[in-house]
Structures are given as structure tokens and as C-alpha cells.
Structure 1
Amino acid sequence: MSSSSTHKNSVLIDIWQSFFALPNWVKIWVGLWLVPVNMLTLCFITQPSGLLIACLAFAGLLPNIVVMVYNRGFSRLMALPHLLPWTILLGVVYSTLPLSNGLYTAFLWVLLITNFISLLFDYPDSYKWFKGQKEVAGK
């Protein structure tokens, strides 16, 4: 028996392979836009509501590490952790806009629009997951 048939991939390899099995537009959206925009909240933690905004942004991101490890890849379950924190985030960002200026205002608009678009996918994907569509990309 060859070592490749007895060796199971590492979790990281499975997650990476699952990511590359996603449609190109999803890879671009998640990898080059959604995650980086939410991570940029750390650059504005000293601004009005900045720490709360960063905490809410990361509250939507970080649980997905657990989901990816558990599923060994990407699935619709990854939408679920976004729902509550990012819905609250939209309200906090919108209410913070009048208190902001300059680059922070521009960033808040980008964050608001980005996470609004994400939630337009996340609510239906969460529903689909609860209804049984629990496939993991690439498996």
C-alpha cells in the first residue's frame, strides 16, 4: 500500500484545496475583499466606535476558523457566524458615520457596503445550510 493511500491530508491542506474548489468570483470576494476589508477595522480602533466596530467585524470572521477546521473546508455553515455580529455592525457603522470624517468616513462606507453585500449571501446560505445543503466545497 502506498503512503499516499494511507496518509490523510492535513486539515490545512484540506481547507486550502476546498478554497481552490470555490468559484473564482467567491475566491476573489472572500480572499481579496471581504476578509481584508474586515481586518482593516484594526487600523481604526482609535476612531469613534472603532474598537466596537473591529470587535463586531472579527466576531463574524473568527468563528469561521473553527467551522473550516471542523468541516475541513468551506461550506454554507460559514455564513452563520456573520449573521448576528455583522447585522449589528451595520447599525453601529451607520450610526457612527455622522461622527467620522476623512479616510475613516470612506472606510466606514466601504465596510458598510461590503458587509451588507455579504449578508445578502449569508442569510440565504444559512437557510440553505439548515435545510440540508451542508456540502463542503471540493468534497
Structure 2
Amino acid sequence: MANACAPQPSIWAAVWRSFGALPAWVKIWMVVILAPVNLASLAFLDRPSGAWIAALAIGGMALSWIALFYSRGFSKLVSAGHVFPWTPLVLLLIFARPEAAGAYGVYLTVLLVIDLISLAFDYNDARLWLRGDRTAVI
């Protein structure tokens, strides 16, 4: 039986342990693709709608970090953090895409594809969280 007075691991330790418990493909997706593509929006702040696109791209990441710390690990709530900022971002890129040529145009297409893929998982995870699946991966 665990000691109720035993110290809890730091929030950073809990989050790191939870990250380590994720499947390899999820870790690769998040670290190699999802985060870098959304962070790259900062390179285009001076382009048409660049500040809005960066705010929405980074906003989805920020809300997910808040959910990550709230849950003390990767729960379905973390994915839900993407839904609110990235849904308008994707709609903007589909229906009101700014004029973009060269690297910016390519970037907007990559951002749209990556965030659409993410949202396909995120909507389901948000639904599961709302239905009571609140456990964090540990």
C-alpha cells in the first residue's frame, strides 16, 4: 500500500515520465513534425496574416501545455487544447488564405496539412475526455 504522505514527483518529472510512456510514433510526431511546424509560424510574422497565424498556431500549443500541467501528464485534455485555436486556423487557411508565394506559400500548405491531421486525432480525444476518459498516460 502506498504511503499517502509520500511526496509527489515534481510536475516536470510527472510530465517527462508521461511523455516517455507515449508510443514512439506519437513522440516522433510531436517532436519532429507537429511542434516544429507550428513554431515555424514565428518566422513569418511579417507576412500577410502572419501574426494571426502564429497566434493561433502557438495558441494551440500553449493551451495544450496548460492542459498537460493540469493533468500532470498526457491526457485526452492535452489534445483538446489544439481544438479551439487550430480549428479557426485551419478554416482561415482553407477559406481566407492570405496571399502567399514562395516559402510562405509552401509553409501555409504544410501547416494546413499537419494541423488537419492533428485535429483528426484531437477531436476524438476531446470527445473521449468529455465522456470521462480523464486518465493521464504514466
TM over 0.5: yes
Give the match for residue 15 of structure 1. Answer: 15
SS of 1:62 mapped into structure 2: helix
Q: Which moved more, 1:112-121 or 1:59-68?
A: 59-68
Give the alignment's Cα RMSD to 1 decimal: 1.4
Q: For this pair of structures, how many residues does the alignment match?
A: 133
Q: How does 1:2-41 map to 2 (within 5 A)?
A: 6-41=6-41
Q: What is the TM-score of this pair, normalised by structure 2? A: 0.91
Deviation at 1:63, TM superposition (A): 1.4
Any conservation in 2 of the 1:48–1:96 contact (CA below 8 Å)? no
* More helix by percentage: 1
For residues 56-97 of structure 1, the C-alpha deviation after alignment (integer angstroms, 9 at most, x for no partner) is 111111012221111111110012121121111012223225
Inter-partner Cα distance in structure 2 for 1:24 and 1:129? 22
Deviation at 1:6, TM superposition (A): 3.7
List runs of 5+ in structure 1 lacking aligned partners.
none
Inter-partner Cα distance in structure 2 for 1:127 and 1:69? 20
Q: Which moved more, 1:33-42 or 1:61-70?
A: 61-70
Any conservation in 1 of the 2:15–2:73 contact (CA below 8 Å)? yes
Give the match for residue 96 of structure 1. Answer: 97
Q: What is the TM-score of this pair, normalised by structure 1? A: 0.90
Inter-partner Cα distance in structure 2 for 1:65 and 1:87? 18
Deviating above 4 A after TM superposition, structure 1's stretches of 4 or more consecutive aligned residues are none
List runs of 5+ in structure 2 lacking aligned partners.
none
Inter-partner Cα distance in structure 2 for 1:130 and 1:8? 27
Aligned partner of 1:38: which letter? N
Inter-partner Cα distance in structure 2 for 1:63 and 1:86? 11
Inter-partner Cα distance in structure 1 for 2:85 and 2:67? 16
Is it true that 1:48 corresponds to 2:53 in the alignment?
A: no
SS of 1:136 mapped into structure 2: coil
Aligned partner of 1:115: which letter? D
Any conservation in 1 of the 2:53–2:89 contact (CA below 8 Å)? yes
For residues 93-131 of structure 1, the C-alpha deviation after alignment (integer angstroms, 9 at most, x for no partner) is 23225x100000111111000000001001111111111
